[in-house]
Amino acid sequence: MAIFYLGVDLGTSRTSISTSTGKRMTVRTCVGYPKDLISAKRFGNRPYLLGDEALDNRLGLNIIWPLADGVISETSDKALEATGLILKHIIAEAIPDKKPEDSIYAAIGVPANASFKNKNAIINVTKSFIDKILIVSEPFAVGYSIDRFDETLIVDIGAGTTDLCRITGSMPTEEDQLSITKAGNYLDDLLEKNILKIYPKVQLSRRVITNLKEKYGFVGVGEPVQVTLTESGIQKEYDVSQAINDSCTALTDSICAAVQQLVASFDPEFQSKLRSNIVVAGGGSRLRGLDFAIEKSLKPYGGGKVICVHDAEYCGCNGCLKMILEMPESMWERID
């Protein structure tokens, strides 16, 4: 009998996995259910589609993003079901050679504000395919992955939430963590509104907006951004530089305020060290100029030093994998 160890970053937009066998992969955290009998026939009577396949066929599907607000909707059976389907799928894809007698031990990263009920929901939906589980804070997993155990502030910018965690040489307490809902999805909403203020007739979709953000997002000074968009079916060139900068700045201001809050409430003898050890992770860490903007916001406090992780997509799940390989079994929860 073999034991497979897995680290999973269960994200609002994407779910990533790292395994003890060296496999890494990412899927979109969404499930599509056929709208009617016609769409069911089109998809070969499959009960659901997952990830990018679901998005590519979304016109014939009801799309569920089970972690739309950063955590599983605790009142939605479909959200619970979809979360289980996504986790079961990515684990099966990552360890295709698993035999029935083999065991799976997994550490799953969740937002810092995930409630006990939400964590318990993850345990319940994974009972049939995970044998032992460890639920961990996503920003703490990032810090663990890069061996930051001294006074460090992790800022993990996902799609549904921005999670912050002070690491002080031991497991973080509730006071060490903060989660705000201004993150990637908030930025998408704001960017769409700001573009439509300037070009009210332009045709936009959420995927178009997300692609613009991921390709061109910046804070402060950036190159002019000219993109091809559609208006009444006709493609034209549009300058969206101001809309992008204004939207990214609004998100950055909220993140800076959260950073200042955790710095200001820290032990005064260690605030300087904390300000000098700020690590930004998650998809939002790719926004150009974000690190300098946070540093600028800390000037009244005595300045600071901010770095962005190199492997934003897998840093969280790598930390989860490292944790489950190193943590004593007394910290795991057996799923019976």
Judge if 3-29+65-142+314-334 and 148-308 fold alike in CATH terms.
yes
Please give the pLDDT value at position 238: 96
What pTM value is reported for the model? Answer: 0.89
Query: Whole-angstrom Cα distance, residue 245 to residue 222?
Result: 8
**pLDDT, tens only, 232-281:** 999 999 999 999 999 999 999 999 999 999 999 999 999 999 999 999 99
Q: Where are the domains of the chain?
A: 3-29+65-142+314-334, 148-308
Q: For position 77, what pLDDT does the model report?
A: 83
Q: E strands within the chain? A: 3-10, 14-19, 24-28, 31-34, 49-50, 61-64, 103-110, 132-137, 152-157, 162-167, 177-180, 202-203, 226-231, 234-239, 278-281, 306-308, 333-334
Residues 271, 265: Cα–Cα separation, whole Å: 9
Digit-coded pLDDT (tens) for 220-232: 877 889 999 999 9
Give the max Cα distance, the chain: 66
DSSP structure class, residue 37: H
Specify the CATH class of 3-29+65-142+314-334 in words.
Answer: alpha beta
Taking only the tens place, the pLDDT of each residue in 283-313 is 999 999 999 999 999 999 999 999 999 898 9
CATH superfamily of 148-308: ATPase, nucleotide binding domain (3.30.420.40)
